[in-house]
Amino acid sequence: MEITIYHNPRCRKSREALSFLKEKSYRVKVVEYLKDLMSIEDLMALLNDLDIRPIELVRKHESIWKEQFKERNLNDTAILEAMVQNPILIERPIVKSKKGAVVARPLERVLEVI
């Protein structure tokens, strides 16, 4: 089974998830979403796979969120646009397989899709 991980190599949780998947000998497709930017359509499809709303995927502790978006009353489209323009706002790691997708926080959530 191929597993896709939306990965930020600077994030400890993301590195732990990737290491876990590799230790289990899964074929892992790594998407470094800070380099390989997602479109709104890509992000919408991922949210659909995760079965969550855009606000649930936002890293609300990021300074850019606090400074530019927190106090605004944003609809889902505006939140999607903010994440596409500022991918650092996207929670990570996201692990996706044929079984579904999860935000792997905590790491044990990976077990839900492998």
- At 73, the amino acid letter reads N
3-state secondary structure of 6: strand
pLDDT in tens, 23-43: 999 999 999 999 999 999 999
Residue located via tokens 């323009």: 85
Q: How far apart are CA 96 and CA 103, in angstroms?
A: 9
Calculate helix-pair angle for 40-50, 76-85, nearest 10 degrees.
Answer: 120
Cβ atoms of 33 and 17 closer than 8 Å = no
* DSSP H or E segment with residue 97: strand 94-97
Is 11 marked active-site?
A: yes
Cβ atoms of 92 and 83 closer than 8 Å = no
Q: Is the pLDDT assigned to residue 1 strictly greater than 90?
A: no
Q: Is the pLDDT assigned to residue 87 strictly greater than 90?
A: yes
Q: Which of 1, 11, 43, 65 is catalytic?
A: 11
Q: Is the pLDDT assigned to residue 17 strictly greater than 90?
A: yes
Name the band, by pLDDT with cuts 50, 70 and 90, for residue 101.
Answer: very high
pTM assigned to the model: 0.92
Q: What share of the chain in percent tops pLDDT 90?
A: 95
Of 2.60.120.10, 3.40.30.10, 3.10.20.30, 3.40.50.300, the CATH number of 2-112 is: 3.40.30.10
Name the band, by pLDDT with cuts 50, 70 and 90, for residue 11.
Answer: very high
pLDDT given at position 80: 97
